């Protein structure tokens, strides 16, 4: 059991960095610093994964969850949890990733568009209507007046 | 607080609205910086309160300091030269609590619109976002269910939103709208992000549960991929 855990942990480390880099790619800063990722210990220790065939001798489709060790990168700490069915990874969960406090999404994806002006049937209106004078002239006032 | 509040009630007991409005009047009396006898004004004058800081005011001040830290000081309840003004946080929080009172009273489908800040229950509801230049048009229409929508903008009172880091008005954004699970979060996030200017768009997008729609001074639109944009209206 202990022997089998070793290649899995190494696989975890090797697997983490590309996965995380993929996530971070939209950030130009991360892309510029990309060479730093080659320092990832997983790559240099890759030969160790040659022990992996041992793991494949495990009973087929046995489900196993392993948590990788904490990897410190120049971007921050990275740690993943992998779920294996036999020797196939079926699920990857980021236990720890850079700049991701629980209150933050990893990377915001913003869509750029041109400003559109439309008229539509709506239930209510969101806008900065902070004075009653502005309210009287607003679409929301019309909607409220229409209410039954 | 000086803004109109309307409630569109689709089920439940209309008397629940009276209780919700009663709470809003209480919140205004207690937290308005424009009333000299409010808890906020008394705290600003450093008057000792007979029973100490109320839990509600403590919560509001906590929220203010959270957003002050999160925006690096762009959002501030205490801009130099002005008194303590937690309005930006109080409004969303008080209206959300009014909505919670309706829900607790058994109402399941309603919209509260408080000066353009919207909290919904049930749905889906179609929420038009006022176009920042053409007052009688929308720049987008959202479809939300039990979510809140808040908009911060320059169009009504001009350059009135100040960046707390510089004390100068924000001029690189026209309007910024946030969709969030509660109006407490939507309103505070929209106001705080607006105070940051264009960099606030991405900041707001990183906030838990928030989707963002923003129009910059060049009329460019920036929105998050997950923004719940409504489909074409159904005929009839």
Structural domains in chain B? 5-223 (3.10.520.10)
- According to CATH, the topology of domain A26-47+61-146 is Sufe protein. Chain: A (3.90.1010)
Which of A8-22, A67-81, B55-69, B153-167 holds the top average pLDDT? B55-69
Q: What is the rounded distance in angstroms from the CA atom of residue B129 to the CA atom of residue B120?
A: 15
Q: What is the rounded distance in angstroms from the CA atom of residue A4 to the CA atom of residue B232?
A: 56
Q: Residue A17: what pLDDT?
A: 36
End-to-end Cα separation, chain A, in angstroms: 71
How much is the ipTM here? 0.90
Kindly report, residue by residue over B120-165, the tens digit of the pLDDT: 999 899 999 999 998 889 999 999 999 999 999 988 666 677 888 8
Closest alpha carbon to A123 in B122, B190, B161? B122
Q: Residue B92: what pLDDT?
A: 93
Q: Enumerate residues 204 to 223 of chain B having a beta carbon within 8 A of any beta carbon in chain A.
A: 205-208, 212, 215, 219-223
What is the phi-psi region of residue B73: left when phi exceeds 0, alpha when psi lies from -120 to 50, beta otherwise? Answer: left
For residues B150 and A130, the model is more confident at: B150
Q: What is the rounded distance in angstroms from the CA atom of residue B37 to the CA atom of residue A93?
A: 53
Kindly report, residue by residue over A90-105, the tens digit of the pLDDT: 666 666 665 544 444 5
Q: Residue A100: what pLDDT?
A: 43
Partners of residue A138 in chain B, C-beta under 8 Å: 116, 130, 135
B114 touches chain A (CB under 8 A): no
Q: Enumerate residues 104 to 123 of chain A having a beta carbon within 8 A of any beta carbon in chain B.
A: 104-105, 108-123
Which of A16-25, A116-125, B10-19, B178-187 holds the top average pLDDT? B178-187
- Residue in chain B closest to A148 (alpha carbons) equals B8
Which residues, 6+ apart, have CB-to-CB distance to A76 below 8 Å?
Answer: A97, A98, A99
The secondary element (H helix, E strand) that includes residue B41 is helix B39-44
Q: Residue A146: what pLDDT?
A: 73
Q: Residue A10: what pLDDT?
A: 34
Q: Residue B227: what pLDDT?
A: 96
Average pLDDT over residues A118-133: 81
Confidence of residue B198 (pLDDT cuts 50, 70, 90): very high
Partners of residue B157 in chain A, C-beta under 8 Å: 128, 130-131
Q: Residue B218: what pLDDT?
A: 94
Partners of residue B91 in chain A, C-beta under 8 Å: none
Interface probe, candidates B116, B199, B210, chain A, greatest A C-beta count within 10 A? B116
Average pLDDT over residues B59-63: 88
Q: Residue A35: what pLDDT?
A: 37
Q: Residue B80: what pLDDT?
A: 63
pLDDT of A6 above 50? no
Rounded mean pLDDT of chain B?
89
Confidence of residue B231 (pLDDT cuts 50, 70, 90): confident
**Cβ atoms B106, B16 nearer than 8 A:** yes
Q: Residue B229: what pLDDT?
A: 96
Q: Which residue has the tokens 């007046």?
A: A145
Q: CB A108: neighbour CB atoms within 10 A? A: 21
pLDDT of A74 above 60? no
Q: Residue A41: what pLDDT?
A: 41
Closest alpha carbon to B39 in B52, B21, B23? B52
For residues A74 and A86, the model is more confident at: A86
Partners of residue A124 in chain B, C-beta under 8 Å: 8, 111, 113, 118, 120, 125-128
pLDDT of A50 above 60? no
Kindly report, residue by residue over B80-104, the tens digit of the pLDDT: 666 677 777 888 999 999 999 999 9
Domain ranges of chain A: 26-47+61-146
């Amino acid at each position: 059991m202990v022997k089998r855990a070793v290649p899995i942990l190494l696989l975890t480390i090797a697997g983490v960095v590309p996965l995380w880099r993929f996530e971070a790619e939209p950030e130009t800063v991360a892309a510029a610093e990309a060479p730093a990722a080659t320092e990832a210990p997983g790559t240099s220790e890759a030969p160790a994964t040659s022990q992996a065939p041992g793991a494949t001798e495990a009973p087929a489709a046995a489900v196993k969850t392993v948590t990788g060790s904490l990897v410190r990168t120049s971007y921050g700490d990275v740690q993943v949890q992998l779920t294996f069915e036999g020797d196939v990874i079926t699920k990857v969960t980021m236990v720890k990733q850079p700049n991701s406090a629980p209150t933050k999404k990893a990377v915001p994806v913003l869509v750029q568009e041109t400003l559109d002006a439309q008229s539509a049937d709506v239930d209510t209106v969101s806008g900065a209507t902070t004075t009653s004078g502005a309210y009287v002239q607003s679409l929301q006032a019309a909607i409220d007046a229409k209410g039954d | 607080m000086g803004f109109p509040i309307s409630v569109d009630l689709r089920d439940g007991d209309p008397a629940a609205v009276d209780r919700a409005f009663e709470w809003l009047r209480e919140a205004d009396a207690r937290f308005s910086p424009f009333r000299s006898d409010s808890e906020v004004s008394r705290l600003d004058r450093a008057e000792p309160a007979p029973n100490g800081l109320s839990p509600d005011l403590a919560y509001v001040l906590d929220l203010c300091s959270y957003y002050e830290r999160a925006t690096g000081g762009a959002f501030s309840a205490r801009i130099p030269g002005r008194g303590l003004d937690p309005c930006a946080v109080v409004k969303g929080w008080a209206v959300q609590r009014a909505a919670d009172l309706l829900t607790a009273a058994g109402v399941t489908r309603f919209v509260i619109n408080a000066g353009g800040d919207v909290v919904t229950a049930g749905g889906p509801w179609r929420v038009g976002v006022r176009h920042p230049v053409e007052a009688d048009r929308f720049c987008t229409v959202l479809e939300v269910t039990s979510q809140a929508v808040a908009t911060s903008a320059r169009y009504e009172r001009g350059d009135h939103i100040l960046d707390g880091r510089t004390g100068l008005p924000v001029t690189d954004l026209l309007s910024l709208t946030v969709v969030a699970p509660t109006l407490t979060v939507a309103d505070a996030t929209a106001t705080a992000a607006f105070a940051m200017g264009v960099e606030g768009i991405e900041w707001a997008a990183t906030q838990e549960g928030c989707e963002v729609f923003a129009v910059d001074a060049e009329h460019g639109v920036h929105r998050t991929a997950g923004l719940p944009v409504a489909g074409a209206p159904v005929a009839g």
